[in-house]
Amino acid sequence: MDILTETLRNQLLDRKQRLNSLAPAAGAHNLLSLLRQVDAALERLDEGSFGICEVCHEPIEADRLLANPLARTCLGDLDSHEQQALERDLDLLAQVQQKLLPPRHQQFDGWEVCFDYKPFRVASGDYCDVITGCDAVNVLLGDVSGKGVAASMLVANLHGLFRTLLPDGCNLAASLARANRIFSESTIASHYATLLAMRADTEGLVTIANAGHCIPYLIAEQEVVPLSSTSLPLGVFADASFQVSEFQLKPGDSVFAYTDGLSEARNTMEEEYGAARLVEWLRTACGLSPDQMVKGCLADLEAFRSSTGLSDDLSILLLKRR
């Protein structure tokens, strides 16, 4: 039996036990109906028809089954009531996700942070947060593997994790190692997250840890310099450690970060936006304000894509020393 089936069976048996303990006291009709549904799902598991859509006979989406092991049809074959309920849930999910984001433009002691965040579908697998603590501002940009609801739930998990760990953890590498351990133990095996973590102090020193994320660029006096990646993504190995590098930024210098929704965007000719075009654009944009820079980069991407739509979640962020 594979791990997914075993997890689902255990979940179902656990739910059955809870229902059994509630049913006699409540005597409610809907509890008995739920119990029958759980039994039917356990039977489907035994006879091998579990996870197969009863309408089109194709497999039901795995993340939906994990969220609701009682599901009997694939997304495409939901009836209209179920579809409306799902749409309401997704709208709510998108609202919750927007509320978790920091303000789009913020200023701190000597620093300015500006970003844009565009989900590909309703909910995004990109993670972005700005957290103060230890006399510094922490800027985080990440990307959970996969898209949609499952990825967005892990993004919410990262928000909670770093808002708890970072304000008191003055050692960035140690905070990341701790976050990685907790994330590894709480996430399903197929998911991981790339993450760029930057801590900027009042003296202009930026400490950077890059856990497998797209390479950010240091923009200093017309020069655009890549800040190379060093560590594995979060959630790959619970025991991973994280290297940090330090850079001194002068007033006017900035760091440009993004998710692969930018670098891997494609145009109608199937060409990638890519690092070379990005660096070239950044060179021409050195004198712009952070706001103009983020908007300008989005405009350049749009000009490149022309009629092609987004194909991935997209985030762009600029950290500038004032």
Choice between 53 and 100, CB closer to Zn ion? 53
Task: List residues near Zn ion by CB under 5 A.
Answer: 53, 55-56, 74, 77
For residues 219 and 208, give the distance between their C-alpha atoms in angstroms, rounded to a whole number.
15
Under DSSP, the state recorded for 233 is P
Contact 99, 159 (CB under 8 A): no
Q: Are strands 314-321 and 254-258 parallel, antiparallel or unpaired?
A: antiparallel
Residue of 148, 317, 301, 176 whose CA lies nearest to 240? 176
State the nearest-atom distance from the C-beta of 67 to Zn ion, in Å.
Answer: 17
Report how far apart the first and last C-alpha atoms of the chain are (Å, whole number): 58
Q: Pick between residue 64 and residue 159 the one whose CB is nearest to Zn ion.
A: 64
Q: Which is nearer to Zn ion, 53 or 298 (CB)?
A: 53
Based on CB atoms, which residue is closest to Zn ion, 13 or 85?
Answer: 85
> Shortest gap between Cβ of 64 and Zn ion (angstroms)?
11
In the complex, minimum distance from the CB of residue 210 to Zn ion, in angstroms, rounded to a whole number: 41
Q: What is the torsional sign of CA 75, 77, 81, 83?
A: positive
Q: Which is nearer to Zn ion, 79 or 270 (CB)?
A: 79
Measured CA to CA in angstroms, residue 209 lies from 107, 172, 205, 220 at distances of 22, 8, 13, 20
d(CA 71, CA 47) in angstroms, rounded, equals: 16
- Burial of 308 per CB tally in 10 Å (0-12, 13-18, 19+): middle
The DSSP output letter for 245 is E
The least CB distance from residue 76 to Zn ion, in Å, is 5
Smallest gap from Cβ 38 to Zn ion, in A, equals 22
CB 90 within 8 Å of CB 122: yes
Rounded to a whole number of angstroms, the minimum distance from the CB of residue 56 to Zn ion is 3
Least Å distance, CB 149 to Zn ion, is: 18
Judged by beta carbon, residue 53 or residue 93, the one nearer Zn ion is 53
- Please identify, using beta-carbon distances, which residue of 55 and 85 lies nearer to Zn ion: 55
Closest CA to 255 of 301, 223, 280: 223
